[in-house]
Amino acid sequence: MTSSNSTTQQTPLPPLAVVSGVRTPFAKAYGALADVPADELGRIALREAVSRSGLSPGDVDEVVFGNVAGPPESANVSRVIALRAGIPQDRPAHTVNRNCASGMESIISAWQILREGRARVVVAGGTESMSQVPLLWRREMQEWLFEFRKAKWGGKLKLLARLRPSYFQPVAGLELGLTDPVCGLNMGETAEVIAKEFGISREDQDAFALASHQRVTAAWERCFYSGEVTPVVYEPPTGEAEETAETKLERDVGPRAGQTLQALAKLRPIFDKHGTVTAGNSCPITDGAAALTLMSADRAKAEGRTPLGYVHGYAIAGCDPRRMGLGPVYAIRKLLASSGLTLRDFELFEINEAFAAQVLACQRALASRTFAEKEWGGTEAIGEIDPERLNVNGGAIALGHPVGVSGTRLVLTLLRALKERGLQRGLASLCVGGGQGVAVWVERTEEKRT
């Protein structure tokens, strides 16, 4: 049973105003944006977010970006983004990493910075080039190269005789990053764990995936996503035929307007040959960036601004790494306990679609009295989420999941969806590799509605 301290009360923070927000198009890794580094993606998002706020780079006091892959050439990628975007050199910047929740962690960090009075305007976001996660040498090859570099000519000849073909087999950094070192499972294998635990069928997962593509396609058709996406001008990947030296990417690459259940049903399981999780009902590996311009609600009001909305609360929780996909359940429970709200008080929900099985499992766990009793000794289920109010514009199965970015994207998309539908209150959440969950409560207005 999980310790009861997971619902400890937080000291409420004053509302955080989201003045503006934007993201780049999301593109499948090794595709359209493969040659655009993470710092450039972040720079594009930051510049446009600041521009849409009516501010200038000189008005930004601090920058916080989430990033997971950690580009070796830009160790503190947030600082590189800030400087290349024209933020004055005397303004600090730092990078945060909470795996898949890094984009949310940047917002939380910015909120705390503003609360301390350390800054008046902060840009928070996330950036990720999963295409550029490097291949690594095996340990034996690293040691051989180190010795070879130090050796004199005679020693180099001897070392060449010791070189083995197996040394040249690279290690995929991306594969390592998507595998949990504690439980030993990769993220897809954890999805298989909870699919079996909650009896989620292949058919249910494929139907959920199809709905994601259909909703994203519909959102693009009515120009919803064009309101949050800024184009990226890039040079096509080497070897691709092109008519011009530069190309502009203006839309997400992943969504398939013609996706069908028949096509999804043909895909084989990729993590367990007897399982149900496929490439079609999982999120693709993705490149992209997003940024929000943030300030206190009081400052926004004093400056006569009409923000996209406000962040009113958040919660972070841990869970078993083998069941990391259930992270949103633990975080949502904690947020509800600290805020006094129930799921019925929220009008729209965003739960990141790492896997269809994972989102469906979260819905079932939230609605299960048995789960609540087993996990916390509760007598009532946390509550139900109406599927028609969840991910109403689709999600990561169609859009993609650039891991350090998705948390920011969820908050931006949720606030814009509330505005489009004339609604007030929303909840965004996502699971986190390593066994965590984060949940964020947003409102369209500064005042909390009862």
Q: Which residues are designated catalytic?
A: 100, 401, 431
**What distances in angstroms separate CA 39 from CA 35, 46, 174, 317, 390, one per listed residue?**
12, 10, 18, 30, 32
CA atoms within 13 A on the CB side of 214: 8
Q: Which two tokens stand for residue 433?
A: 């590799």
3 state DSSP class of 32: coil
Question: 């291949």: which residue's tokens?
Answer: 135
Say if CB 37 and CB 71 are below 8 A apart. yes
CA distance 106 to 16: 13
Q: How far is CA 169 from CA 148, 214, 362, in A?
A: 18, 41, 39
Locate 175 and state its tokens. 């594969």
Counted residue by residue, the chain has a size of 450
Q: Are 437 and 316 in contact (CB under 8 A)?
A: yes
- Distance separating alpha carbons of residues 266 and 150, to the nearest angstrom: 54
Q: Give the containing element (helix H, strand E) for 84.
A: helix 77-84
3-state SS record for 301-364: HHCCCCCCEEEEEEEEEECCHHHHHHHHHHHHHHHHHHHCCCHHHCCEEEECCCEHHHHHHHHH
CB 31 within 8 A of CB 62: no
Q: At which residue do the structure tokens 């910075």 appear? A: 113
**In which residue are the tokens 């070796």 written?**
72
CA distance 427 to 328: 11
Nearest to 285 by CA among 410, 173, 169, 150: 173
CA gap 435, 334 in Å, rounded: 15
**Whether the Cβ atoms of residue 21 and residue 110 lie closer than 8 Å to each other:** no
- Reported as half-sphere exposure (CB side, CA atoms, 13 A), residue 272 has a value of 17
Q: Is 368 helix (H, G, I), strand (E, B) or coil?
A: coil
